[in-house]
Amino acid sequence: MQRLLAALLLLGTATTAFAEAEATLDRTEITALDNLTLTLEVDDQVESRPDFSPLHRDFRILGSKRTLISSHSSAGRDVRTRWQITLRPRSSGTLQVPALTLAEQLTQPIAIQVAEVSPAMAGQPGAATFFDSSLDSRDVYLKGQLLYTARIYHRDPLPQNARLIAPSAGNSEVHELGERQHYSGEFRGANYQITEQQYAIFPVETGPLVIDGPRLQLPRTADQNLTELQGETLEVEVLEPAHRSTQGSWLPAQSLSLEESWSPPQNLRPGGRFTRELTLTVTGLPASSLPQLVSTESDDSYIEIQNVSLSESASQFGLVSTRRETVSIEPLGSGDFSLPPIDLHWWDVSLDRARHAALPARRFHVEAPPLVDSAAAGVGSLDANPLSGPRLYLLIGLLTLLSIVSSLGWLYTWSKLKKYQADNSAEEKEEEIRRQRKLLLANDRAERNTFQALAIACQQNNAALAKARLTEWAQNFWPERHIDCLEDIGDAARNQTLDYLILDLEQQLHDDASFWQGDLLMQAIDTLRRRRQHQQEAVTNSASEPTFLQAS
């Protein structure tokens, strides 16, 4: 009986510990201008968003993200769900983070101390130094551009070591546009010096988006107690995509242009190469969002992307991004060839309608290889002298011999023709094998090039670029499969480690891509490539081993 009670007590304790939800703060003493991070964690996989409405009473929610933490042990797989919420207090004094429900469990409330901030230190309009922030719109499409202009009004010149930190908006991309501008102006009759900086913000989630204003960090001096100033927090609405193309892309932009440069040789022959350069220029999108322009899949040509260059610049309309692809084209035969048209569907945010940019199909001719002319055999002429006597008998003998030789030659030709017909199918098979080997070599070159591009993206810890390069590499590594997304890569690889790394990549892209590290993904891809190389070497070695027959 005692053992039974002890077992039940242990089971109840274990169940309670498994389902326990925890709440922690990164700090408990802040000022009214500071942000704090609330972390909620539970030993379970929670897909739905918890109810954060109790927080609205004393705090403003500036952003949140969910993270799944997976671990493996001999007992199985354990999953923890972690939510991180960025908060800003609405008032000063003693505030309390209320109990929240997570996986049907309540967290413990937490008390914090919020210190007051004077109007001068808060940088209110009319103070010696203050912010004035503005947006070009109060709503923006998903992945579209939002222009944020920050102006710092200051009566005295800013110190040389003053630091301006860009605004933050959850997981959105923020790009600084151009150089800072300095000019003079007035505010409420007082003269000010104005420092202006513009930013481009690209949201990655739909719904309300809170933009935490930029921060100005100043050195503490005897005459100045203000050490940090923050711009106003603004809120916008992020709209769902209004249109998706048949390729599944969504490109909201101010303008888009597609250009090409190519010059195939006049006397192009099989084995020859020429290059084609494609340039995509978009205003209102980051370079990492621009799609690949050329497909390397072709039955009659070997198409290889030699180089991809991405660049960004600032203009009065925002961020201008350029993607330039240099493509090498090698026809695999002779005759007339055609490159497929390139179509891009995008959304004009100025006119709020779908638009289309395209390059037509391009045709070129490949000449057949020159044939070697055979020299004409000379035929001797017979003497026209009249034949008589022995010469006539000699001519009759020669004609008889020629007839016999011709008959034997016909029989020999007929036997050779039968043998040729029997061997013709074998030659066709060998030709098909040679063609497959050539295509395999071309695919290997494309795989190596895309692997190098993926390695560069992983070394730069660029999650968005790594996702695109990973898909391009997988299309060449498994050419027999139809791969369009990361889920297709997991099905093709059937590798648990790669599945977890792809899940981590998608999670980081969804939450905060700046924290992503590409070294583990690079190791997993390199392991797959080495494993295939070892398998191919083993097959080659087994095929080359001699076979010994035992005499009976």
Contact 342, 278 (CB under 8 A): yes
Q: How far is CA 10 from the centre of its chain?
A: 49
Q: Minimum mean pLDDT among 17-31, 352-366, 478-492: which range?
A: 17-31
Let me know: does 361 contact 367? Beta carbons within 8 Å.
no
Least confident among 48-52, 391-395, 518-522: 391-395
Whole-angstrom Cα distance, residue 113 to residue 27?
Answer: 10
Name the CATH architecture for the domain at 244-368. Sandwich (2.60)
pTM across the whole model: 0.52
Dihedral sign for Cα 57, 59, 61, 66, please.
Answer: negative
Mean local confidence (pLDDT), 251-256:
94
Nearest residue to 295 (alpha-carbon basis) of 528, 471, 529, 490: 471
Give 195's pLDDT tier (boundaries 50, 70, 90): very high
365 pLDDT band (50/70/90 cuts)? confident
- With a cut of 60, say whether residue 225 has pLDDT above it: no
pLDDT at 16 over 70: no
Position 380 confidence tier, pLDDT thresholds 50, 70, 90: very low
Question: In 3D, which of 130, 247, 106, 120 has the Cα closest to residue 187?
Answer: 130
Strands 335-339 and 362-366 come out as antiparallel
How is the chain split into domains, by residue range?
19-116, 118-240, 244-368, 432-536
Q: Does the pLDDT value for residue 460 go beyond 70?
A: yes
- Report the percent of the chain where pLDDT is more than 90: 24
Could you report the per-residue pLDDT of 265-298, keeping only the tens digit for each?
888 888 788 899 999 999 999 999 999 998 888 8
On the question of pLDDT at 69 being above 90, the answer is no
Tell me, what's the pLDDT at 223?
60
Q: What pLDDT sits at residue 18?
A: 47
Class of domain 19-116: mainly beta
Q: Edge to edge, what strands does the sheet with 207-211 contain?
A: 139-141, 234-239, 207-211
| CB-count burial class (<10 Å; 0-12, 13-18, 19+) for 104 | exposed
Give the DSSP per-residue string, 14-65: HHHHHT-EEEEES-SEEETT--EEEEEEESS---SPP--GGGGGTEEEEEEE
pLDDT at position 68, please? 81
Is 118-240 assigned to CATH 2.60.40.4100? Answer: yes
CB count in 10 Å sphere of residue 43: 17
Q: What is the pLDDT of residue 245?
A: 64
> How far, in Å, CA of 20 to CA of 107, rounded?
8
Q: What is the DSSP string of 478-504?
A: STTS---SHHHHHHHH--HHHHHHHHH
Interval 478-524: pLDDT, tens: 888 888 888 888 888 888 888 888 888 888 887 777 778 888 999 99
The larger pLDDT score, comparing residue 259 to residue 13, is at 259
pLDDT for 15 beyond 50: no
By mean pLDDT, which of 128-137, 147-156, 349-358, 513-522 is the weakest?
A: 513-522
